[in-house]
Structure 1
Amino acid sequence: MQLIKENTESQLVKSLLIIFIGSIILTVSAKIKIPFYPVPMTMQTFIVLFLGISFGYKIALATVSLYLLEGILGLPVFSNSPERGVGLAYFTGPTMGYLIGFLSACFLASLVKNDDNYFLIFFKLIFSVSTIYIFGILWLGTLIGWDKPIFTLGVMPFLVAEIFKICLLTLITKKIIKLRKFI
């Protein structure tokens, strides 16, 4: 009985450590901008999907939730903070829908299985990342008005970068899932 209790406590500590480190990695991925045309690319969506694939939906959702909470509480974790503000004011700005979409994307990415073929992995990841943009344009349209070219502003500039990230993740997903059993 004692061994089970120690193992459970050890697993809890390990999970909390992964969640904390994951939120730091997500923050770093938001801050590093990679020159890409037409909009600089961050690796946030890559990390969000990576979390779901690597650790499953529970840890991924907890990690993204911690990241969002840190930002809401005023820590400068988001991509354009502190330059464009911090806290709830930044969170409820134009990017809120995308940030909320991180939750659905990491959950859906966790559904990728090792026995999926590369074609299926690619489409599951496309679907996962699409939810980020669906939530994003729904909020953006509500915020700035539906008379604006929402898709052109909120999705088009990021498509090439997203395809690149999805292709990269598709190629390494089976290796990531195999490593999961060691964590």
Structure 2
Amino acid sequence: MKKYQTIDLTYSAFFICLMAIGSNITFWIPFLAIPIGGVSVPVSLQTFISILAGIILGKRLAAFSIFGYLLLGIAGVPVFAQMQSGIFVLFGYTGGFLLSFIVTAYLAGLIIEIKKPFTKRSIFLASLSGTLVNYLIGVTYMYIAMNTWMGLEVSYYASWVSMIPFLIKDLGLSLFITFALYSVIQRLSLLQKKHI
């Protein structure tokens, strides 16, 4: 089993902080929450950040970081959307999205590791795959939660349709990750060559 160094844990802590900040955009800007099936679903940057973690940190450290973020929230630190905390949040309609961030980060990191070196194609594939897995798990969980313990009648199709605004946002961010991150990597490579 790989032992993490201090720098790895520092990066991990940084992404845990980013996840906490990204989850609470609607706490400071309430109108960004979108009403769906009688409940208000907050817009967040967590899908974007979990994918970014996978690409930058690698599959294991990224998944470890997201797991740490979830543990922090379960322990009572208000790092979940709308400054919530506690294990009960995982049983809400967005609980599946929270749990899926571990898989999202791991998958994005795995694809980058398989497709090395960094290219626009590999970054986009990691971003797109992470986003789709995030929504597949999240929407399915939301549908089950609403139709069982939350006592709401919502079809699986309606669950997917209701998430289209969020999906468009996250697909757009996938494109942003692709071009922005690839541009940064190219510039860093040029700087390294100049100093060799």
- TM-score, normalized by length of structure 1? 0.78
Secondary structure of the residue aligned to 1:77 is coil
* Residue 160 (structure 2) aligns with: 151
- Cα 1:94–1:123 shift into 2, 3 Å: same
Aligned partners of 1:114 and 1:177 also within 8 Å: no
- TM-score, normalized by length of structure 2? 0.74
Structure 1 segments unaligned to the other structure (5+ residues) = 1-7
Secondary structure of the residue aligned to 2:58 is helix
**Mapped partners of 1:15, 1:115: distance in 2:** 21
Aligned partners of 2:96 and 2:141 also within 8 Å: yes
**Mapped partners of 1:69, 1:80: distance in 2:** 17
Query: What do the CA deviations read for 1:133-162 (whole angstroms, capped 9, x no partner)?
Result: 111112111111274321123x21212211
Aligned partners of 2:55 and 2:126 also within 8 Å: no
Work out which structure has the larger RCO, using CA pairs closer than 8 Å and 6 or more positions apart in sequence.
1
Shift of 1:76: 0.8
Secondary structure of the residue aligned to 1:170 is helix
Query: What do the CA deviations read for 1:64-110 (whole angstroms, capped 9, x no partner)?
Result: 0000111111211011233xxx2011122111111111111111111
**Mapped partners of 1:58, 1:120: distance in 2:** 18
Superposed CA RMSD: 2.9
2:132 is the counterpart of 1:124:
no
Query: What do the CA deviations read for 1:14-46 (whole angstroms, capped 9, x no partner)?
Result: 112221222111101111247769686422111
* Residue 90 (structure 2) aligns with: 91
